[in-house]
Structure 1
Amino acid sequence: MAVSIDEKVIAVEEVNDCPIEEVRLTVPITDDPTMPALTFRTWVLGVLSCLILSFVNQFFRFRQNPVSIGSISVQLAILPVGKLMAATLPEKILTVPMTGWSFSLNPGPFNIKEHVLITVFANVGSGSVYALHIVTIIKVFYKVEIQPVLAILLTLTTQMLGYGWAGLFRKFLVDSPYMWWPTSLVQVSLFRALHETEKRVKGRLTRLQFFIIALGSCFAYSIIPAYFFPSLTALSFICWMWPKSATAHQIGGGLQGLGLLSFGFDWNVVSSFIGSPLAYPAYSIVCALVGAFFALYVAAPIVHWTNSFEAKRFPIFSSRTFDEYGNRYNVTRILDQKSFSFDEQAYDSYSKVYVSTIFAFSYGMSFATLAASLSHVALFNGRSIWRQMKSSIKDKSGDVYNRIMKNYDSVPQWWFYTIFVVVLALAIFACEGFGGKLQLPYWGVLLAIALGLFFTLPIGVITATTNQQPGLNVITELIIGYLYPGKPIANVAFKTYGYISMVQSIFFLQDLKLGHYMKIPPRSMFLVQMVGTLINNVITFGTAWWLLTTVENICDVTQLPKGSPWTCPGDNVFYSASIIWGVVGPLRMFGKLGVYAKLNWFFLVGLISPVPIWWLSRKFPQHKWIKLIHTPLIFFNAGAFPEIKPVNYWTWGVVGIFFNVYVYRRYRGWWARHNYVLSAALDAGVAFLALLVYFSLQMNDIFGPDWWGADGGDHCPLAICPTDPRIMVEGCPAMS
């Protein structure tokens, strides 16, 4: 049933006592508990959406500029289909044989709760399967075969382990009104725009009208950077002014340099890596930009041009590993192919492993982020977490949304525990069986899970309040690298079980919060996420296996033909990490035998960094802005390179500051009605255009005009050059 937003329909005796203003402005406090949710239409459209997005997104992840088709696109596409099914399907009751269970093909008008569950299906389908990086580097980079059954078990167990303990943290990360999950508000806003009947005020647009206009405009414009003028994705002005200067290219390159004065005019540049800035709180954006500025324009230049770590021998901004001669590190020279383990003698006769300045600094920042996350959450959120624990024992109702959700049966804890036990057994079997292909013993699986469980709450608090999620990838690599050195596949398997189990747990909780806001029965949400995850695993694995076995030289940038999109940027970073942490090991990288031992000081820096901020916030409580200085976010964004490029950060930051600082303060009413709707429209416009261009033109080898602006790079070819005069690299000028 449609509800007019002008009627202010509020449940009897309910008031909106949510403490977060953005939530109060966006999420309604009305509910119809009789509205059907998990219907025949939900299953058909949800499963179909999950299938399509799983295939399409995995297909694009191997490409140079990955395009992620998000669940927002499905929110739009599915609405007319759902309404068509409601208008045409018979109202027939079907009974499942031998069960007595019956359902209606058409329970009435297509409603908002069905739409939410279908979108959750799509959201699961749009997510990546991180363990496929392991499959890729084994087959492509290490050139070793892996059994498909083992690969499927690996992907399935890494994706579902975190679901097993998500139930432990529901009370803190879902029920708590202070854990508001900013990204969920984008979807809530779009659902309301699509389903609520809104009376148009003269001279103004309804939210649905605004959404359609914004989507169409973005769709039409995106053909320019996607097809006719790809150089718009990275305009690096300094490189144009000094086209023959390697130093200028290193400073100004938006993709392979420090990105000074670089900018992009493409929404895909804004949102592809970091997400839509319109969904981030203003202080989160500011902290991110402070961290990026510190990394790119303070730390990296000092380290590089003082030649610390012999940095001038290598590019300033690169995700590759190098030997002491400036060449790409040849890992086959230090790897025993029979045992697939580290050959110390060969290593000593070859070279230590080196990385670019920004890559080395990113590891230091990862150390600081992890330590700062623990101390920040303990200092700033410890009291609220403790209060939440006590309230969970006393079973207090909390805010208005908690009181409304009391009308629905919650998910029993034993459901979560059962998943955990079953998946844990499969994970140990995958690692110990199949001839030890994954190299990881059972104790490694248990330790990885313990790390993921321990960090879920502090990282979850940061994600739920800032929309940014620090990872455990580096600390997991470091721990297993010391405990079990020289085993590259064991290293990445341990990292994946520890890191992704935490990520999946938080992902599950985020969807539960969306259901909390939209008043979806929790058991329906649980079932949809389980089924969606199984479908996503099977389809993404099948897609990846197909591409890995059919695309010649996939991921090998040295062998691919010029202009080939199959460069696998994420897999290249993953492979480099497996060399650094798995083959060579942290002892020879960050320990007493390595080049980068001084970076370990960042653990201490990160641990103590929140303390002065916390002290100042207590000393001067009248200055509330002090609490918004979020050191884990600053470190996290300082270490986000080299996978994320400078041009992505500055374009993202400018857009975010404009909407969530300037517009939010000056035009609060417009922001409340249109900000999140605009974010959804821009994401959908880019996604639809990318699919249309690829499948109608590029798939048939029809490309745009051949001219200067057709280059998808930033026209800074010398940014990859070393500046040490002793190092000569083909295509680079001689340095004096």
Structure 2
Amino acid sequence: MTCLVSSREERIEDSEENSPVEQVALTVPTGDDPSLPGLTFRMWVLGILSCFVLSCINQFFWYRTEPLIISAISAQIAVVPLGRLMAAKITSHIFLKGTSYEFTLNPGPFNVKEHVLITIFANSGAGTVYAIHLVTVVKVFYRRNISFFVSLIVVITTQVLGFGWAGIYRRYLVEPAAMWWPSNLVQVSLFRALHEKEERLKGRLTCIQFFIIVISCSFAYYIFPGYLFKILTSFSWVCWIFPKSVLAQQLGSGLYGLGLGSLGFDWSSIASYLGSPLASPWFATANVAVGFFLVMYVLTPANYWLNVYNAKTFPLFSDELFKANGSEYNISSIVDSDFSLDINAYDQEGPLHLSTFFAMSYGVGFAALSATIMHVLLFHGREIWEQARASCKEERWDIHTKLMSGYKQVPQWWFWVILVANIGAAIFVCEYYNEQLQLPWWGVLLACAVSFVFILPIGVICAVTNQFLTLNVLTEFIIGYLYPGYPVANMCFKVYGEMSMAQAVVFLQDLKLGHYMKIPPRNMFMAQILGTLIAVIVYLGTAWWLLETIPDICESSSSIWTCPSDTVFYDSTVIWGLIGPRRIFGNQGTYRAINWFFLGGFIAPIIVWLAHKKFPEKNWIRLINMPILIGATGRMPPATAVNYTTWILVGFLSGFVVYRYRPHLWKKYNYVLSGGLEAGLAFMAILLYLCLGMEEISLDWWGNDLDGCSYATCPTAKGVKVDGCPVVS
């Protein structure tokens, strides 16, 4: 086990009843104490406070050039001394004693179950609210009107809708032991380190001692990549050796090129887009590594240097939109007064062009979608079918599901009410405020249908590999063909199709955390719903305030408020919504051949499955996960090469080297290390902003030039002129 188990827990010694997943068996306790109270006064106070603070901070940092997401782990750690202080100081008097309504503000020591519920609240405020992209793009990039009320309804419905889907799929993605959700083990390890007593062996550190050392070192170190020496975020040494070579900088830049030799000595650059590499199973890390290598170092450079689609006229790696001559596309010139595409203006401006990598990223997105469906059908289809037939048979449950069966369950109809109510509200706001949202009622229903179909396959992938696949491309593709020329309708369809699916996966992951920690299901239901409602209101309020008060927000001229993720979102609305896929990827478009990626993604899992059937003794074949391998670069852009190269390296050292050759160290310290690194960075990042960022105090020297590869974005076609770039004769 990661740490010793508390004497209060009922120990179940029969190892055969433990989880069949080794990492879970090594990390998650197999006991429960049902007498521990969860819905305490301090849980309500600290849970709501954590949700509020994380929501506000994360939305605040989201618009910055270097976005930072503060995860729930920071709150998970910060509330421990506060909880213990409240347990020591608040009165333990029993109010209304002797009645059926008696209660106390202090039921005893701060316990792990209320700590888990606080963390569930914090999880609600720890991610991002995807629908706020829509609000930002409409208000800032298109400079059109969208009211706060309409924004609020869209944000709430897209976030809460996923909870209805989660309730339907919980028996397939939470109860089975095979659905183990690796990232939850980080939080489980921290709960145990913070609550369980452990004897210190001679010459060894306890979990909590190790955690304190890690968080202290991470806190102190982040002042360098976070303020004093920012080049550590992307250490692209190749550019230093060849300061005037466009080719060398295209190869070596970690932010604007292929990232050969580039490393990030900053935990935020390692874990910001792909999550913690310490929480990723090695087989999943290996699949990401192979996929990244093939796309980044084979597919992209081959298409670029063969000048496919006149690729050399544009940068190798960029999310900008271009005209045929390599200049930036003037999007505002092709939007008419009705907020739709002006066909005549578009014909005058000419077809839109993409950088090589941006075009390839859509291709691998196509392939990943078809690969996901085929992989789950071939490798998990029988398992899902058997689970559907025998989901209520206790002999199919592991020890954790058996322990949870003793608690009062959430009725299925609760989830159906949430689902129907949110779909109804979404249809109302889209129909009644159609001049702002553009999406007709049938678009909402179709988006929900797409989400419903893909939650199971994507949930299986995430639950087993810790890698999340999105529906961005599919949702954009569908509505772009059915309803072209309307960018806001495209955004609405995407947030309802993509976000309700993503939220369902997040809710399912939290349900599995409660499953591991034996939290009563009805308590989990309450914390997730209330936490989500608080989070969306705070997220939208913070975003609205920033959008109204910062004059140059999301503009390239802004010093820190450049909104990188919103810029990519805006580019997508132009490609798929305003212009439409038919004029880019269809029979009227430049990039028609990219549609063949759909077929490639469909065939790839079949090849792996046939190889597995042919050579069943070779277990490594089954570990080839084509959706993860093909979709490895799905987060690029805004993620860059350095995020991947360093993530893969750290994942290899943890998941392969240490796990194989020092398993006793891995099982005791691995997940604790991950939590400590993240929490230390988060606390220092907040401190730096409060002390220096708010006053705009910065250091201007070469060590804070993030990449040092000024030529990496230059085109290499002959005669193309771009400011700051050499002209190839």
Normalising by structure 2, we get a TM-score of 0.98
Question: Does the CA-based 8 Å contact 1:40-1:105 persist in structure 2?
Answer: yes
2:157 alignment partner in structure 1: 157
Aligned equivalents of 1:665 and 1:67: distance in 2?
32
Q: Look up the equivalent residue of 1:519 and give its one-letter code.
A: K
1:33 alignment partner in structure 2: 34
SS at match of 2:103: strand
Kindly report which structure 2 residues correspond to 1:717-736, keeping only aligned pairs within 5 A, or say none.
717-736=710-729
Aligned equivalents of 1:707 and 1:442: distance in 2?
54
2:546 alignment partner in structure 1: 547
Residues 1:600 and 2:601 aligned together: no
Q: What do residues 270-327 of structure 1 show as CA deviations (whole Å, max 9, x unaligned)?
A: 1111111000000111110111111111011111111111111111101111111212
Aligned equivalents of 1:664 and 1:340: distance in 2?
55
Aligned equivalents of 1:395 and 1:345: distance in 2?
65
1:222 alignment partner in structure 2: 222
Q: What do residues 377-407 of structure 1 show as CA deviations (whole Å, max 9, x unaligned)?
A: 0000011111111112545451100111111
Residue 71 of structure 1 deviates from its aligned partner by 0.6
Match for residue 716 of structure 1 among 709, 716, 720: 709
Kindly report which structure 2 residues correspond to 1:279-678, keeping only aligned pairs within 5 A, or say none.
279-336=279-336, 338-392=337-391, 394=393, 396=395, 398-557=397-556, 559-560=557-558, 564-678=559-673
Residue 529 of structure 1 deviates from its aligned partner by 0.4
Aligned equivalents of 2:589 and 2:247: distance in 1?
28
Q: What do residues 63-113 of structure 1 show as CA deviations (whole Å, max 9, x unaligned)?
A: 0111111111111110011011111111133469xx964431001111000
Aligned equivalents of 1:68 and 1:167: distance in 2?
27
456-465 or 156-165: which moved more? 156-165
Q: Look up the equivalent residue of 2:352 and give its one-letter code.
A: V
Q: 1:142 to 1:100 in 2, by over 3 A?
A: farther
Residue 249 of structure 1 deviates from its aligned partner by 1.2
Q: Look up the equivalent residue of 2:467 and give its one-letter code.
A: Q
Kindly report which structure 2 residues correspond to 1:198-237, keeping only aligned pairs within 5 A, or say none.
198-237=198-237
SS at match of 1:697: helix
Aligned equivalents of 1:718 and 1:430: distance in 2?
47
SS at match of 1:341: coil
Residues 1:53 and 2:54 aligned together: yes
Question: Does the CA-based 8 Å contact 1:294-1:638 persist in structure 2?
Answer: no
Q: Look up the equivalent residue of 1:85 and give its one-letter code.
A: M
Q: What do residues 421-445 of structure 1 show as CA deviations (whole Å, max 9, x unaligned)?
A: 1111110111111253100000000
Residue 17 of structure 1 deviates from its aligned partner by 3.0
Residue 640 of structure 1 deviates from its aligned partner by 3.0
Residues 1:21 and 2:19 aligned together: no
Aligned equivalents of 2:406 and 2:555: distance in 1?
55
Q: Look up the equivalent residue of 2:237 and give its one-letter code.
A: F
Q: Look up the equivalent residue of 1:324 and give its one-letter code.
A: A
Aligned equivalents of 1:58 and 1:206: distance in 2?
36
Question: Does the CA-based 8 Å contact 1:92-1:104 persist in structure 2?
Answer: yes
Question: Does the CA-based 8 Å contact 1:293-1:638 persist in structure 2?
Answer: no
Question: Does the CA-based 8 Å contact 1:16-1:24 persist in structure 2?
Answer: no
Question: Does the CA-based 8 Å contact 2:145-2:436 persist in structure 1?
Answer: no
Question: Does the CA-based 8 Å contact 1:282-1:661 persist in structure 2?
Answer: yes
Q: 1:318 to 1:394 in 2, by over 3 A?
A: same
Q: Look up the equivalent residue of 2:708 and give its one-letter code.
A: H
Question: Does the CA-based 8 Å contact 2:12-2:30 persist in structure 1?
Answer: yes
Q: 1:430 to 1:101 in 2, by over 3 A?
A: farther
Q: Paired residues, what number?
A: 725
Question: Does the CA-based 8 Å contact 1:255-1:645 persist in structure 2?
Answer: yes
Q: What do residues 147-182 of structure 1 show as CA deviations (whole Å, max 9, x unaligned)?
A: 110011111111111111211111110000000000
Aligned equivalents of 1:614 and 1:631: distance in 2?
10
1:707 alignment partner in structure 2: 701
Residue 62 of structure 1 deviates from its aligned partner by 0.2
SS at match of 1:641: coil
Q: Look up the equivalent residue of 1:408 and give its one-letter code.
A: Y
Q: Look up the equivalent residue of 2:609 and give its one-letter code.
A: W
Residue 12 of structure 1 deviates from its aligned partner by 7.7
Q: 1:15 to 1:114 in 2, by over 3 A?
A: farther
Aligned equivalents of 2:668 and 2:717: distance in 1?
55
SS at match of 1:718: coil
Kindly report which structure 2 residues correspond to 1:87-166, keeping only aligned pairs within 5 A, or say none.
87-94=88-95, 101-166=101-166
Question: Does the CA-based 8 Å contact 2:6-2:196 persist in structure 1?
Answer: no
631-640 or 571-580: which moved more? 631-640
Q: 1:103 to 1:329 in 2, by over 3 A?
A: farther
SS at match of 1:719: coil
SS at match of 1:610: helix
Amino-acid identity (%) = 51
Residue 334 of structure 1 deviates from its aligned partner by 1.2
Aligned equivalents of 1:594 and 1:246: distance in 2?
30
SS at match of 1:162: helix
Aligned equivalents of 1:14 and 1:21: distance in 2?
11
Question: Does the CA-based 8 Å contact 1:91-1:104 persist in structure 2?
Answer: yes
2:189 alignment partner in structure 1: 189
Question: Does the CA-based 8 Å contact 2:273-2:635 persist in structure 1?
Answer: no
Aligned equivalents of 1:329 and 1:644: distance in 2?
23
Q: 1:6 to 1:416 in 2, by over 3 A?
A: closer
Aligned equivalents of 2:101 and 2:311: distance in 1?
68
Q: What do residues 519-573 of structure 1 show as CA deviations (whole Å, max 9, x unaligned)?
A: 000110010000001100110101000000111110011x32xxx1101000000
1:83 alignment partner in structure 2: 84
Q: Look up the equivalent residue of 2:625 and give its one-letter code.
A: H
Question: Does the CA-based 8 Å contact 2:394-2:402 persist in structure 1?
Answer: no
Residue 726 of structure 1 deviates from its aligned partner by 2.9
Aligned equivalents of 2:614 and 2:68: distance in 1?
47
Q: Look up the equivalent residue of 2:119 and give its one-letter code.
A: T
Q: What do residues 243-288 of structure 1 show as CA deviations (whole Å, max 9, x unaligned)?
A: 1111211111110111111111111111111111000000111110
Question: Does the CA-based 8 Å contact 1:397-1:403 persist in structure 2?
Answer: no
Q: Could you tell me which runs of 5 or more consecutive residues in structure 2 were left unpaired when the two chains were aligned.
A: none
2:683 alignment partner in structure 1: 688
Aligned equivalents of 1:534 and 1:100: distance in 2?
30
Residue 11 of structure 1 deviates from its aligned partner by 3.6
Q: What do residues 640-666 of structure 1 show as CA deviations (whole Å, max 9, x unaligned)?
A: 322110011011111110011000001
SS at match of 2:232: helix
Residue 237 of structure 1 deviates from its aligned partner by 1.8
Structure 1 stretches of at least 4 aligned residues deviating more than 6 Å after TM superposition: none
Question: Does the CA-based 8 Å contact 1:54-1:539 persist in structure 2?
Answer: yes
Residue 236 of structure 1 deviates from its aligned partner by 1.1
Question: Does the CA-based 8 Å contact 1:409-1:522 persist in structure 2?
Answer: yes
Aligned equivalents of 1:326 and 1:215: distance in 2?
47
467-476 or 217-226: which moved more? 217-226
